[in-house]
Structure 1
Amino acid sequence: MKRHQMLMAGLVLVLTAMSQAFAAGGDFKEGTDYEVLKTPITADTDKPFLIEYLWLGCPHCQALNPYMLQYEKDHPNVEIVRKPGIGPKRWVLDAHIFFALYETGNGKLFAPLMDFYHNLETKERRLPDQNDINGFLKSHNIDQKRFNEAMTSFETMNNLQRTLKEEQSINLTAVPTVVVAGKYKLLAPAEGEGDAIKRYFELIDYLLKKG
């Protein structure tokens, strides 16, 4: 009887340990869910941080954005650093727009700008042209001349070059791509809903704790 009790107690301990491991992200695997970067990426923050590489016109980035915004709201101790993916010619233009938004002090309008891209694509099946962007600027009381100057400013050009080098160093091939703590590049797909999206953010939490 004692032997049976000891076996049962041992089984309980094993199951408890397994449960804790899975709860802590024990089912996440390097090489499958994430990749450890050879050269970490730094960010200008003292907080735990995520870097999200995206394109304003990317439907997958647009779909992920509400979840990222909610995560940001629920985790004020974690900073999300957003950077534009730099690829084809159109992406480069939108990267200029992205950096100009922040350089003019209007970074808080990132989400409305992405929604603007999404709504135009949904309604008219196209990306915004210069007239559309001017209309967005006007609707948010942003000085058009100052914004246009910021698009080609020295700071914007430096940001573009620095971001491109980062993306080359991590072999960025698709957006959205999230890098956790500057060390871990997520390989899991940033799409879906319910359990799929829940697992995606559990992976982020796991890697933040991993540090």
Structure 2
Amino acid sequence: MKKVWFSSLALIFAALSITAQAQMKYIAGNDYETLPAVIDDAQSPKVIEFFWYGCGHCNSVYPVVEQWLGPQESDDQPVESTSETQSNRWAINSRLFPSLKMLGTAIDKRLETQKLQTQKLETQKTENQKSDDIAFEFVPAMPSSRWATGGQLFYTAKALGMNINAETFAQVHNKNNPGIIFDEGKAKAFLVSQGADKEAVNKAWDSFGVKQDMERAIRLFNDSGLSGVPAFIVNGQYDVRYTGDDARFFDILDYVANLKE
């Protein structure tokens, strides 16, 4: 009788376990890995991407990640031109050239339509776009001093308020200019070529803030125990690897970022 009872209890626990797993969309050890220890004490939900400018895979995945991140605050803002200003302009011209009045009205309507379309695009979220509550941070991996110049280039640009990621990847992988991530002089010259002031570059390069950022990046990567990039660490403890299936990958990131402990 006891044997039957224990067998029944085992079946119940097994059924409960299977049900619990079925309710979990993605499973640790299968769809993502758990790091031995938490590497970042920042508030969740948050995704960190460890990368290196010299990494071909990082270069390939960068535009995909940018699309997921959506419009950035650093994007160039279009110069606004209101319908009222345009209407006044056409009203003045129409006194001299009556035939311009109809043309001006048509242009006013087109400008208003374009404005509405722009507003719609700015508020619309694509299917695979990051939700606003998830923080994201690029962190250059620096497992050795060989990668340090590229990391310092990244943080110096950040200190100067510059987003040079796309152009840096292009220089290294498409324009045969890898020296900018290995040679300090070439790295600084590259920043100047992108619009930075030479004196400001030199000051930021050796600044205390950049030095702190470098030390933190090195510590985070070392603590993670990772051996390659790109690597996406969620909430400081979950390792989600990019496999090429964009929709599934970003869905896992979103799912894991919102896991409740």
TM-score range, shorter chain: 0.7 to 0.9
* Superposition TM-score, scaled by structure 1 size: 0.72
Q: Deviations over 1:136-191 (max 9, x none)?
A: 323321012321332222222222222211112111211111111223122x3x24
1:119 aligns with 2:174: yes
Measured on the aligned residues, the alpha-carbon RMSD in Å equals: 2.6
Picking from 29, 32, 36, the partner of 1:31 is 29
**Could you tell me how far apart the structure 1 residues matched to 2:196 and 2:138 are?**
21
Aligned pairs, number: 179
Residues 76-155 of structure 1 mapped to structure 2, 5 A cutoff = 77=132, 78-106=134-162, 108-120=163-175, 124=176, 126-128=178-180, 129=183, 132-155=186-209
Question: Which segment is superposed worse, 73-82 or 129-138?
Answer: 129-138
Partner of 1:205: 254
* Superposition TM-score, scaled by structure 2 size: 0.60
Larger radius of gyration: 2
Task: Structure 2: state its 5+ residue gaps.
Answer: 1-18, 71-128
Partner of 1:67: 64
- The amino acid across from 2:153 in the alignment is I
Task: Structure 1: state its 5+ residue gaps.
Answer: 1-17
**Could you tell me how far apart the structure 1 residues matched to 2:177 and 2:198 are?**
25
Deviation at 1:86, TM superposition (A): 0.4
Q: Any runs of at least 4 consecutive aligned residues in structure 1 with deviations exceeding 6 A, and if so which?
A: none
Secondary structure at the aligned position of 2:196 is classed as coil
Identity %: 25
Q: 1:97 to 1:126 in 2, by over 3 A?
A: closer
Q: 1:152 to 1:197 in 2, by over 3 A?
A: same
Q: Deviations over 1:85-129 (max 9, x none)?
A: 0023331111111110111121x3333333332223xxx374435
Secondary structure at the aligned position of 2:137 is classed as strand
Question: Is contact 2:39-2:237 (8 Å) kept?
Answer: yes
**Could you tell me how far apart the structure 1 residues matched to 2:228 and 2:161 are?**
28
